[in-house]
């Protein structure tokens, strides 16, 4: 069974907050003991780039590059995809694929990532339900405000 399916079942058909879903997934995933290209990780993130128009505070990223010299990593954040598309992408990642739509590609500073968890291939392959784990925040006149995911998805 997949952590994503288990959490959906734990909700018992009741509507839960994004914070509730995130806390369940963070609790259920293994702590990362370091990561490498090809790993999928879920983590909390605080952007350091001031002119960034928006970002996801809780990315789930397939790592495609690690730049130790600049202490950065990059890859595809599945949360930039509508939930209807996430399942097929997650299943392909679980099967070893490293492809994703360009709009998902982002860079992250290692120092700004915390509570890093590893998402197993089995969890991805068996995903039946895309959980609302993302939390997008947008720069509005120099201040970051949380925004509905649908606004970010409509910009793509």
| CA 114/CA 95 separation, integer angstroms | 26
pTM of the model: 0.94
Q: What is the pLDDT along the chain (156 residues), one digit of tens a residue?
A: 799 999 999 999 899 999 999 999 999 999 998 999 999 999 999 988 777 888 999 999 999 999 999 999 999 999 999 998 999 999 999 999 999 999 999 999 999 999 999 999 999 999 998 899 999 998 888 788 999 999 888 876
Q: Range of 76's domain? A: 3-155
Q: Which of 26-32's residues contact partners 24+ apart within 8 Å by CB, and which partners? A: 26/115, 26/117, 28/3, 29/3, 29/117, 29/118, 29/119, 29/123, 30/117, 30/118, 30/120, 31/116, 31/117, 31/118, 32/116, 32/117, 32/118
- Domain count for the chain, please give it: 1
The answer to whether 102 and 135 are in contact (CB under 8 A) is no
């Amino acid at each position: 069974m997949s952590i994503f399916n288990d959490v959906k079942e734990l909700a018992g058909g009741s509507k839960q907050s994004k914070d509730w879903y995130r806390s369940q997934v963070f609790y259920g995933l293994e702590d990362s003991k370091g990561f490498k290209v090809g790993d999928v990780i879920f983590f909390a993130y605080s952007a350091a780039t001031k002119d960034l128009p928006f970002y996801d505070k809780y990315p789930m990223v397939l790592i495609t590059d690690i730049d130790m010299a600049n202490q950065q990593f990059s890859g595809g954040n599945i949360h930039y995809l509508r939930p209807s598309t996430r399942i097929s992408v997650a299943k392909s990642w679980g099967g070893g694929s490293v492809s994703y739509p360009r709009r998902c590609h982002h860079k992250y500073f290692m120092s700004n990532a915390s509570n890093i968890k590893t998402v197993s291939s089995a969890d991805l392959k068996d995903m039946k339900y895309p959980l609302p784990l993302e939390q997008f925040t947008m720069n509005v006149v120099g201040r970051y405000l949380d925004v509905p995911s649908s606004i970010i998805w409509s910009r793509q």
